[in-house]
Structure 1
């Protein structure tokens, strides 16, 4: 082959490879734009988490777009691609600002990928007032909440892939605000009708996010026809399970058996956390069984589960002794391992501590479910990610991402408590 032919041959190869790469990039871009809830949910490549970006003791102080983007970059570095938000109330623009922040990050970086399960808050008449809540009549505010969720889903169809109608809105221990299933059913059907009328994206999935009991996995009092119809109407079930809270309310699984008395403390703790996982799996199975008893077979994902790291109440040193970062780390890894292998999305609760949840009690457990502290320290469950350097160059509130306890496991273990024995639990019941 002469020199001229060789040059032409090489150039043609380069041209073909270039075209191939361009086609591949175009194909990847096309795939990204077509990603739907069906593609995301249950997909281990799309790690899910519950997210609130509030830093202060009141939600009147909203996080800025810059602060939200700071958080989103941290979560993205972890592999999180699916967020859950909780409301779209007019005085709380958190969710709409999260969507705006994601949109801006996508513009700044074409490879940035993040989606949202958008929550619409639902409650009953007189909820959160000095009047008696009327659980049989819904709040007049619900219609506006749904309308705003629809508007945001249409404004950001590339980001909002799911709308969740209500958060623990049917469970009867939510005495301040719960509604009857017919209210959730009404709004779910309304959103499904909007999809049929092409007033919402047809591939947008609709659900409600509620306690396992509300989905039929608990007492018979929840087994009503409106719930059965709701199960048939949603695109998937988003259920909550909290072994953490049940270490106080239903602690039979939590106590250290007599046969384990002489085991090392770490072994007692690890086995207790294995039982906690089985407790969650049992609740998941109970919802599955109820759904199938209705002749329905659709996906069930975990809308919430988590483990707090500080408590002065039911779960602390004078309670079930469930609370510390070591147990949180074990629970986080056990839940992620199980749900990934089972094809279940798990909106782990939650990304960052939020101190508004129990503003008058700084050490209340509700303030301490985050994988990160408010000032950006990574708790024990994700110390390994700090070691891997995935947070290098990222900050929260101006702080680089470092480990709690300065990464000293011995210091951490000074705050770790062994669960009580079965005998102690029975004596305190």
Structure 2
């Protein structure tokens, strides 16, 4: 009996000494594990993705301050967001976002927020009446160089560089470029990785409409696109069923066999069809990628649902925009992408009033899950109830619910999608 106690005592002491010796190695291992790459982050449900601007004013020249950016970043983190997407580096915004994250990390070493850094790409004479889609802007080189500088400065935060935003889709008539321009800069960045100028696990992509990635018409199916697909580390595609409730609305109209359903049943059916619409666009890109013999990860670089519209998507249009439908789409697309390990950079965290500055009720101003003032829209009411945002603010305001939390008042703004016949009759009148 005493011998057994002695043996156990020796074993315990040995284990204690061994654990002390191993502690530095364990710490080192934990540090390595903390250095996540894009491959680890994208599609991981514990690192939700979000598109982020954070501009609070109608005047886009008024940049968010570092403290305002910190407010937003902490709110996004509380929601479970682990990676945010920025769009351009020629303005201070992206640099300030990285600085804000870095400062938060110094205050709290356990804080995590990563960035997909966008480099804006234009054609020659973009946004003028002399647009030349056959040549690129002379400013593109400086934009790429700035993105490289920031990726080097913040390697612990920048995990992706995206070359261009909707820079190949042909309906962006004021600035789109040919795929060879995007390919040129993607290859440049990949080469910087090869020679050690950029981290080897930094992922390079371009973020564009699903059609531009081969999911659209034959006009997009060119050799330079095929080469681009081979060159990127993953595909970042956009899908917007909300916009297509106007531009391609057959999926949105209440079909004949659903006319007898209740209003809420019609809305739910339309929202589920919207999810299927996005899934179809995702599949169309996947099919094209496979058709050229490639097998690249495909993530959603943008999708979202506006809550207000006084034009195509409002009461006199497709009746798509309200907080209830936004919440349902957000829930559906998050469930689908999380289940399938697809990153979804939801568009977007906060309303930005500069996007349609001359029309306050324009839909582009109202894609946020938060209002400018920091009120949580219906999609986030449950988080407010759970105390997720307790102690956090926006513009110094504690987080509260839109509609003062009155769901009955909110539902008065929720309209049933039209039938095709209703739309045709409305047009004829």
Residues 101-123 of structure 1 deviation map (CA, whole Å, 9 limit, x = unaligned): 11111111011001100000001
- State the secondary structure of the residue aligned to 1:319: coil
Partner Cα distance (1:133, 1:310) in 2: 32
* Deviation (angstroms), 1:27: 2.9
Partner Cα distance (1:236, 1:46) in 2: 17
* Deviation (angstroms), 1:264: 1.2
Residues 289-347 of structure 1 deviation map (CA, whole Å, 9 limit, x = unaligned): 00000000010000000000000010001100000000000000000000001110000
Residues 225-248 of structure 1 deviation map (CA, whole Å, 9 limit, x = unaligned): 111111111110000000000000
Partner Cα distance (2:383, 2:349) in 1: 14
- State the secondary structure of the residue aligned to 1:116: strand
Partner Cα distance (1:71, 1:23) in 2: 36
Residue number in structure 2 paired with 1:403: 401
Residue number in structure 2 paired with 1:275: 273
- 1:324-335 equivalences in 2 (<5 Å): 324-335=322-333
Partner Cα distance (1:201, 1:75) in 2: 26
Contact 1:258/1:422 (<8 A) preserved? no
Contact 1:251/1:425 (<8 A) preserved? no
- 1:21-420 equivalences in 2 (<5 Å): 24-33=26-35, 35-89=36-90, 92-129=91-128, 131-420=129-418
- State the secondary structure of the residue aligned to 1:282: helix
Q: Which structure 2 segments of 5+ residues have no match? A: none
- State the secondary structure of the residue aligned to 2:400: coil
Partner Cα distance (1:132, 1:116) in 2: 34
* Deviation (angstroms), 1:395: 0.4
* Deviation (angstroms), 1:59: 1.9
Contact 1:349/1:370 (<8 A) preserved? yes
* Deviation (angstroms), 1:18: 6.9
* Deviation (angstroms), 1:376: 0.5
* Deviation (angstroms), 1:261: 1.4
Partner Cα distance (1:263, 1:155) in 2: 57
Residues 154-200 of structure 1 deviation map (CA, whole Å, 9 limit, x = unaligned): 11111101000000000000011011111111111111111111111
* Deviation (angstroms), 1:42: 1.6
Partner Cα distance (1:388, 1:292) in 2: 43
Number of matched residues? 423
Partner Cα distance (2:21, 2:394) in 1: 42
* Deviation (angstroms), 1:14: 6.9
* Deviates most, 9-18 or 174-183: 9-18
Partner Cα distance (1:380, 1:343) in 2: 25
Contact 1:236/1:298 (<8 A) preserved? yes
- 1:13-24 equivalences in 2 (<5 Å): 24=26
* C-alpha distance 31-253 of structure 1, shift in aligned 2 (>3 A): same
* Deviation (angstroms), 1:25: 4.9
Q: Which structure 1 segments of 5+ residues have no match? A: none
* C-alpha distance 294-7 of structure 1, shift in aligned 2 (>3 A): closer
Partner Cα distance (1:300, 1:25) in 2: 34
Partner Cα distance (1:14, 1:66) in 2: 46
- State the secondary structure of the residue aligned to 1:304: strand
TM-score by length of 2: 0.95
Contact 1:51/1:350 (<8 A) preserved? yes
Partner Cα distance (2:15, 2:203) in 1: 45
* Deviates most, 284-293 or 37-46: 37-46
Partner Cα distance (2:385, 2:21) in 1: 40
